[in-house]
Amino acid sequence: MPKLGMEPIRRHQLVQATLQAIDEAGLANATIARIANRANVSTGIISHYFGGKEGLLDATMRQVLDELGKGIAQRRARAEDSPRAQIRAIIDGNFDEHQVSQSVMKTWLAFWASSMHRSNLQRLQQVNDRRLYSNLCFQFRRCLPRQEAQNAARGLAALIDGLWLRGALASKTLDVERARRIAYDYLDGQLQRAETFA
Partner DNA sequence: CCTTTTATTGATTGAACGTTCAATAAACAT
Partner DNA sequence: ATGTTTATTGAACGTTCAATCAATAAAAGG
- Residues near DNA, by CB under 7 A: 1-7, 10, 29-33, 40-48, 52-54
Q: Which region among 8-16, 93-101, 107-115, 137-145 touches a second copy (by CB under 8 A)?
A: 107-115
Instruction: Give the C-alpha separation, 123 to 71, whole Å.
Output: 21
Best CA proximity match to 95, nearest among 6, 189, 170, 167: 167
What is the size of the binding site for a second copy (CB under 8 A)?
39
Question: Alpha-carbon distance 178 to 182, whole Å?
Answer: 6
We find the least distance from the C-beta atom of residue 128 to a second copy, in angstroms, to be 10
Asked if residue 184 binds a second copy (CB under 8 A), the reply is: no
Closest to a second copy by CB, 49 or 186:
186
The SS3 assignment for 149 reads helix
Question: From DNA, a second copy, none, which one binds at residue 10 (CB under 5 to 8 Å depending on kind)?
Answer: DNA
| CA pair distance 74, 139, nearest whole angstrom | 17
Q: Does 177 bind a second copy (CB under 8 A)?
A: no
Is-contact 142 83, C-beta < 8 A?
yes
